[in-house]
Amino acid sequence: MKRGVVMVILIQKKHLCAFGLFLVFLCGMTTVLWKGREAVLAASAEAALSESPVYVIDPGHGGEDGGAVAGDGTVESHLNLEIALRLNDLLRFCGQNTQMTRKEDVSIYSDGASTLHEKKVSDLKNRVAMVNALDNAILVSLHQNKLPDSPKVHGAQVFYNAVDSAQELGKQVQNALNAAINPGNGKSSKQISNTIYLMKNVTSPAILIECGFLSNPAETAQLQQPEYQKKLAFTIAAGILCNTEEENP
């Protein structure tokens, strides 16, 4: 993880919470180096037994449904998965309970779905069912945006559903993204349209993060870089955990 990500949050946000998160991540990395992988896995298992929220990390699309496609052929679903895997690891390092809707490039439709439309509908229903079956779930769905008529538009933006506490979570994650990802291009978190099936039908707080624009060639190139994917994951995790700290002072 580059120091620049942390420094942007510290200097631009002047948020003490961000410094605390840096120490948490530093402690997590030290644990890996000194105690080894088994200790980290044991700590994660212990955390999973607690009554803290379960962050459902949802890499949008997958499998036959690749989502948006950039001009160079970059497929949204692959980027969503790479960022989601990193976010999942970071949150677990910090002792948070997590569950992923998918860990591979697959669509999670049920048997019997045959056409692409049927598979997409089934996939969304299964994601909703997965989230709604969990106690204390919080959905974090990762996507990429596309505006072919406006190729210069760029940056990450957060949308939230109408469930209590989702707005505050969305605002906190957007603040972190504006500091580290959108310097000079700040965006506002917004309530999502009720036409988005996943966000409308989950009963828990939910945010959907458009991590960038595949219609912007420069941003598309960035989104494919592992270091930038790590930066996005770190920033989203910082926003989530800052929100958690503010709710539990």
Q: pLDDT digit string (tens) for 158-209?
A: 999 999 999 999 999 999 999 999 999 999 999 999 999 999 999 999 999 9
The band of 249, judged by pLDDT with boundaries at 50, 70 and 90, is: low
pTM of the entire structure?
Answer: 0.81
Q: What is the CA radius of gyration of the chain?
A: 18
| DSSP strand pairing (137-145 vs 190-191) | unpaired
Chain segment 96-138, per-residue pLDDT in tens:
999 999 999 999 999 999 999 999 999 999 999 999 999 999 9
The band of 24, judged by pLDDT with boundaries at 50, 70 and 90, is: very low
pLDDT at site 8: 41
Domain ranges of the chain: 3-247
Q: What kind of fold does domain 3-247 have according to CATH?
A: Aminopeptidase (3.40.630)
The band of 52, judged by pLDDT with boundaries at 50, 70 and 90, is: confident
**pLDDT at 4 > cutoff 70:** no
Burial (CB count within 10 angstroms: exposed 0-12, middle 13-18, buried 19+), residue 239: buried
Q: Are 67 and 107 in contact (CB under 8 A)?
A: no
Which parts of the chain are beta strand (E)?
54-59, 97-100, 137-145, 157-160, 190-191, 206-213
